Amino acid sequence: MIQKYIISGAPGTGKTTIINALKKKDHYCAEEISRELIAEQISIGGNILPWKDQIAFENKIAHRRYQQYLNSPENCISFFDRSSIDCIAYLNNNKLESTSQINQIIK
């Protein structure tokens, strides 16, 4: 039986702390990747940033999170720091529509 769990919630509520505690118990945990993409974009002077182009940012994040899911092991319990569904929540919070790319990933 495949067991994959998403840790989701508002910023600063302890998701990463939970993920780090699970890692210490040797569980497979997929990292939050928003920080990684932001750092990449800042380092290259890119525009795929939530404060510059949120739609492009959420599309990229949804794709990377989906890749995390696909690349996670199937023989152990896996935990994920957020999911592609969070992208829709962030877009909706800013009165933006989800994209066809994100909707397709979530299906």
Express each pLDDT in 17-70 by its tens digit. Answer: 999 999 999 999 998 899 999 999 999 999 999 999 999 999 999 999 999 999
Q: Which of 74, 62, 86 is nearest to 6 (CA)?
A: 86
Express each pLDDT in 11-22 by its tens digit. Answer: 889 998 999 999
| Rounded Cα distance, 71 and 30, in Å | 10
C-alpha distance from residue 107 to each of 43, 60, 92 (Å): 33, 16, 18
* Domain boundaries along the sequence of the chain: 4-106
Q: Are 46 and 60 within 8 A, CB to CB?
A: no
Domain 4-106 in this protein, CATH class: alpha beta
pTM: 0.88
pLDDT at 23: 95
Helices in 3-53 by DSSP H: which ranges? 15-24, 34-44
